[in-house]
Amino acid sequence: MYFESREQAGQILANELLEKYRYENCAVVALSDGAVMVGEQIAKALHCLLTMLLIEEIEVPGEGVSFGGVSQNGGFTYNGMFSAGEMEYYNSEYHGYLDEQKREAFNKINKLLGDGGLINNDMLRDRVVILVADGLDTGASLDVAVDFLKPIRIKRLVVATPVSTVQVVDKLHILADELHVLDVKDNFMGINHYYDKNDIPSHEDTIAKINQIILNWR
């Protein structure tokens, strides 16, 4: 399944969610800049809060594989696709590198956050949280988001994405209360492959937009 744009994919997901969640106390939490474009359509349809969780993924040098990610509260979560043996190996082999990358990632997040930030626990507490991605290949960002949400009392965790790998969907059946995935791929070609338009705003522009939405919502 291919989409004209992230906005179009978001509208399809919004239609799926509308009947059940139109009058619920919801919050849409996007996992990336592209996910904000998807999530904005859902938030508009549900008339609910839209925000973004800042996540910086850290890759294994030269392998194109994610170790895991750092969230805006400074917590690090390993890629849940790793076995215990793989995590032990990578942690041993790249211990110094990993620690340095964690520091750099958190510093980068802090610079982007500026004054105020994007999410605080009160925004999400006692709400249906709809985690939105524009595509899920490894699920690393999802692991980080679930860890971030653990100390927050939420009513329900819904995950919505236009496209995902089979492995991530299998994981989601355990992590989430409800899934909305428009297409599941055995052979995932990269997120941008599934959209005709890939004109994603800069990280800074996305954050400025989100912070303005939150300011207006408050």
pLDDT, residue 198, reads 95
What is the pTM (predicted TM-score) of this model?
0.82
Per-residue pLDDT of 18-76, as tens digits, reads 999 998 999 999 998 999 999 999 999 999 989 888 887 888 887 777 888 888 777 78
Predicted confidence (pLDDT) per residue in 121-130, tens digit: 788 999 999 9
Residue spans of the domains in the chain: they are 6-55+115-217, 57-113
pLDDT at 116 over 50: no
Contact between residue 209 and residue 201 where contact means Cβ atoms under 8 Å apart: yes
pLDDT tier at 133, thresholds 50, 70, 90? very high
pLDDT of residue 91: 81
CATH architecture of 6-55+115-217: 3-Layer(aba) Sandwich (3.40)
* Radius of gyration, alpha carbons of the chain: 17
In sequence order, the β-bridge partners of residue 205 are none
